[in-house]
Structure 1
């Protein structure tokens, strides 16, 4: 049986983190502001926290010459899977397509067995996109792929991915302030035996179908309010860490507002591990979960 979570991850240290005008129209979490070196310090603090919790973190360096504002979010262009499979994804932003660097794949291949690469990036030429585990929230145990439609998540590509990877698709609509939610992983996270979801954002015509699938899969479902979801309360990731599960993430909520939700989350999912990343989440529009590419690959010895 497949495991839901792993204790090995890839992260990319940013060299030119900043505001990406190509992604801002569809990402309501992204706010323009001044650019400084804080993003690198925030990145390093998250790596330190994860390693201290016994997560194996492989760090790749961004290529400064390419001037990639979103390189810190590798989960959108790459995912890995049991059986030595890696998938490359079609990205909506032309700038982000340059993040698919051969050097990073070679770095992975030097340490892990990758036997097959599924390259879906050619769909960019058709104007169709599917942005990794941002677009796809995977129940790896029950083989469900949850995906909310958006300019960055094409129904047909969800179905194609599921056919290739032997998953069942569950595609739905979700809206924040009447705008399609840009990535599924800001409103839904699935762990081994739990799920965190902001069902208020899911279209009423789809809500029961999504919640029923989660419950029928044996998950304890934790409901996040819209405010908690805006504070990255669902943008979290279960990881294996020294024989236990942890949750990688950090809530951007006042402690008085976030404490009840955090207590409920940790009671069902394990301790939350991470540090504040205000520069990354405000200017890049993604939380700690978006910074992590899970590695479900066998190590070379």
Structure 2
């Protein structure tokens, strides 16, 4: 999970830099394209598993949901204050707990519910969003959060039949044509200076999803996702180091709430 969170931050930084010169749709496409080049050397070894096409319909559903969620979330990044986007996005673990209960049959324990609530409160403390005006883009980000929650639960279901590596390969193979079709409708000139950020965004995305699939294979989804709240304070620190964004006491107060909520939940799980 630590490597997954670090990779998600790298992907976010790379995507943020790319969005300064390319369209959002191109960013999604190039992330998938870089991922294809990274996984290409491993395809022969994975081919025996891939050709069996296990759970292909579930792969298609998961990746369509995930791609749509990515697109909605990126629209929110462009149209909304970043603090509001983060606050809305981190409703996803609440949906993970709900979908894990409905689809995977995981127990929706009191400890897990409290961990999610505590984590969400911690995020609100960090970003302190204002919701005075209801923007339609906020609805898209909320839909993206629902999509991310469903996507992660579907990944957990896929780990019963597929290896984490195969799940990531199917993600690239399905989302690459989706990204290309979208990018061609809003194509902008690509410059040599974009290539390093493509590599950062693409490699970060691939690593993040592979590590997340590994974690989901080993632990229940509703245990993992509250820990993912830590991505917010880590992103705040990265923003300070890379972009000189201000980090204040609320970041560390929110992180303390998140850590405390998860610590209590894990203690309760061990005792159960």
TM range (shorter): under 0.3
Computing the radius of gyration from Cα coordinates, the structure with the larger value is: 2
More strand by share: 1
Which structure would you say has the larger RCO, counting Cα contacts within 8 Å and 6 or more residues apart? 2
Question: TM-score scaled to structure 2, two decimals?
Answer: 0.27
Question: TM-score scaled to structure 1, two decimals?
Answer: 0.25
More helix by share: 2
